[in-house]
């Protein structure tokens, strides 16, 4: 099992109603993205972090480690927004490069910070859902929302194959390391190419075996998955409405009146 799946099944919020958790994560994410406000993003980051770590029981350092993964991509992607090459220097700083300047302005700096905080807060909403809700429960929510059955089956099969491919790739990589396949850059590059080709061949083979196994078990075009249904609680629904309503009012106030 991958780390996120282990944390999910060990979470103290594992047996809460999946519809409530999904509604909270999706509505909060939409408000955060539409507001484009650093203050709103900060509130969302704090609340989802507290719920995931304190209520869900996810170790704080593990949670922060997962947050650094998208943060690294966000910082790299905002460099193009922050820095400009112009003939005229901007107000934040300017480094002369011949007749040009590597420069940045105050507006572009605050826009880059706003983009990073908004994206990170949106990711924290998805982390909250991923760390507390198993995949079968999410599929059950999608089923109640009348999501196309074909799409849900594809999601389930892809989810299943993630574990198979990770396990196969780890076994091949360990075998290559035992044979000194990563002793230098050249051999590591060659080993990586061989790993990719072998992984693709085995994925095709295993997909064929999986389909044969499904056919042997009277597969009729639908994958039936047992899921545990927990009744929604009025108290939790009231808290979700109260928080998201207050967050929406705060976002509107920040957007139009501040």
Residue 225 DSSP class: -
CA angle 127–30–56, rounded 5-degree value: 25
CA distance 137 to 226: 9
CA 242 to centroid of chain Cα atoms: 25
pLDDT at 258: 66
Residue with tokens 């109640």: 144
Beta bridge partners of 86: 101
Parse the chain into domains and list their residue ranges.
Answer: 1-133+230-258, 147-227
pLDDT at 44: 93
Beta-sheet pairing, 84-86 with 100-104: antiparallel
Residues 88-132 have pLDDT tens digits of 777 777 777 777 877 777 887 888 888 889 999 999 999 999 898
pLDDT at 202: 81
Which residue ranges in the chain fall short of pLDDT 70?
Answer: 1, 221, 225-228, 258
Q: Provide the Cα torsion 190, 193, 198, 199; round to 10°.
A: 140
Q: Which helix (H) or strand (E) holds 254?
A: helix 234-256
Q: What is the rounded radius of gyration, in angstroms, for the C-alpha atoms of the chain?
A: 23
Contacts (Cβ under 8 Å, ≥6 apart) of 160: 210
CA distance 241 to 235: 10
pLDDT at 123: 92
Nearest one of 257, 240, 255, 253 to 35, comparing CA atoms: 255
Q: How many CB atoms lie within 10 A of CB 11?
A: 20
Helix (H, G, I), strand (E, B) or coil at 199: helix
Q: What is the largest CA-CA distance in the chain?
A: 73
pLDDT at 207: 77
Q: How many CB atoms lie within 10 A of CB 65?
A: 11
pLDDT at 227: 67
pLDDT at 213: 81
């Amino acid at each position: 099992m991958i780390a996120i799946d282990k944390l999910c099944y060990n979470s103290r919020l594992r047996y809460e109603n999946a519809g409530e958790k999904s509604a909270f994560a999706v509505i909060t994410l939409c408000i955060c993205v539409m507001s484009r406000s650093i203050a709103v993003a900060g509130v969302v980051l704090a609340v989802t972090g507290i719920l995931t770590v304190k209520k869900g029981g996810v170790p704080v350092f593990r949670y922060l480690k997962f947050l650094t993964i998208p943060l690294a991509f966000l910082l790299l992607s905002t460099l193009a927004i922050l820095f400009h090459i112009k003939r005229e220097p901007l107000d934040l700083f300017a480094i002369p490069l011949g007749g040009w300047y590597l420069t940045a302005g105050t507006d572009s700096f605050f826009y880059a910070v706003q983009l990073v905080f908004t994206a990170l807060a949106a990711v924290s909403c998805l982390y909250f859902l991923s760390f507390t809700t198993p995949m079968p429960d999410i599929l059950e929510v999608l089923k109640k929302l009348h999501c196309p059955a074909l799409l849900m089956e594809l999601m389930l099969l892809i989810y299943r194959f993630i574990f198979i491919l990770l396990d196969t790739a780890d076994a091949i990589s360990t075998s290559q390391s035992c044979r000194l396949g990563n002793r230098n850059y050249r051999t590591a590059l060659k080993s990586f190419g061989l790993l990719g080709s072998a992984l693709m061949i085995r994925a095709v083979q295993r997909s064929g075996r999986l389909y044969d196994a499904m056919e042997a078990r009277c597969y009729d075009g639908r994958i039936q998955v047992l899921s545990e249904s927990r009744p929604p609680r009025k108290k939790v629904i009231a808290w979700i409405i109260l928080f998201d309503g207050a967050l929406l009012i705060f976002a509107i106030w920040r957007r139009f009146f501040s």
